[in-house]
Structure formats: structure tokens, C-alpha cells
Amino acid sequence: MMRKLQSSPVLARVVPFALFAALTMLQGRFGDNSQYWIYLLKTLLGGWILWQLKPALPEVSWKVSWEAVAVGVAVFLAWVGLDGRYPLLAARPGTFDPIRSYGAGGFAMAFIAVRIAGSTLVVPPLEEVFYRSFLYRYMIRPNFLDVPLSCFSPVSFLVVALIFGGSHFEWLPGILCGMAYQGLVCRKNRLGDAVTAHAVTNFLLGLWVVFRHAYLFW
């Protein structure tokens, strides 16, 4: 199975994201506590698959630049600052709140740590390689590896941002987020800055959730 993924540029970029998304849909479906265990499972699985597919995903790297950090912080501020100022397309489901479920003990702290680690270290490369490396370029040309990461297509830029935003309950900041990350990729001609920006956003959001008890964002 892994060899098949490694040999297919499309599968290597789509299957990890699809598996992660499928497990996300199962969170909480087997009782409230299942959301925590399934998040742990998908984080470990996502990290393992990324590691195994590393040779097949040369664009997946972490590049730290002032632009990446600035975009990551700006997206975080938009995410929390716009909350309540636009209509949601659907009601948020039950929140990921281990303290509510387990109390302020070791289990709760462990699942909070897993959530922050997963959203900071695993989600950014998984989503960026799917949305910004694969889907954006595939919409320009099916032979997407021939499309430079710096290539700007207004249609692809807008459609991918809309799809990315629509995959989040916070659709408006999600759309702005998708545009900001894609803009970084086009400007830098590499994926690493967007991965870093995404990680900065998610890490700050994780801290906001924990210290402000704003579990609605999870």
C-alpha cells in the first residue's frame, strides 16, 4: 500500500488528507470520549504517513520567514476577531473539551497536548500539501507537477480558498486564511512558508482555546 502511494504523485498527496478527514468525521460518533481517542489516532496515523511518504513529497518542508510568521499571526487574529461577526452556515457540533469530560487531570492535559501538537505539527503539512500543492495546481493542469508553485491562477486561487473555507465552520476566516496561505506559496515559490504560517496560526489558536476556555474553536 505504501509503495503504491509513493509511486503515485496524486495518491501521495490525496490519500493522507482523505484518511485524516475520514477519521475527523468519526470523532464523537462512538460516544463523547471517542472524539479524543480518534483525534489521537488520526494524529499518530497522519504523522506516520507523512514520514513514510517524505521521499514522495519533496515540497513538504518547514521554511521560517518573517512573512510566514506575520501571516500566521494575522490569520489567528482574524479567526478569533471575526467570531460572532458573521453568520455560520451550520451549528457548531459539541466542542472538544477534555476538561469537561475528564476534569483537570492527567487525561485532560494529555488530550489537550495531543490536540495542540496535532494541529501544529501534523495538520499544516497534511492540508497544505493537499490544498496548496495538489488541488491548486491540479485545477490549473492535471499534470500538476509541471506547474510551478509560484504560478498564479485567479480561478484556482479563489476556488481553492472557497473550498478550504467551506471545510471549516468558521468559513469566512477560513476563506481569508486560504487566500493568505496560497499567496505565500505563490510569492515564495515553495510550500514551506505556508506550512509554517499554518502551524503558527494553529498553535496560537490552541493557546487561545486553552487559556480563554474558548473550546468552541475546537
d(C-alpha 53, C-alpha 2), whole Å = 8
- SS3 sequence of 84-139: CCCCCCCCCCCCCCHHHHHCCCHHHHHHHHHHHHHHHHHHHHHHHHHHHHHHHHHH
d(C-alpha 98, C-alpha 210), whole Å = 10
Domain ranges of the chain: 60-217
| Residue ranges of the chain whose pLDDT lies below 50 | none
Give the Cβ contact number of residue 143 at 10 Å: 10
What would the grid cell of residue 98 be? 477534555
pLDDT value at residue 58: 95
| 7 within 8 A of 131, measured Cβ to Cβ | no
pLDDT value at residue 174: 97
Return the amino acid letter for 102.
Answer: Y
pLDDT value at residue 31: 87
**Tens of pLDDT, residues 86-125:** 999 887 877 899 999 999 889 999 999 999 999 999 999 9
The three-class DSSP label of residue 202 is helix
d(C-alpha 114, C-alpha 37), whole Å = 10
| 60 within 8 A of 191, measured Cβ to Cβ | yes
d(C-alpha 64, C-alpha 80), whole Å = 23
pLDDT value at residue 70: 98
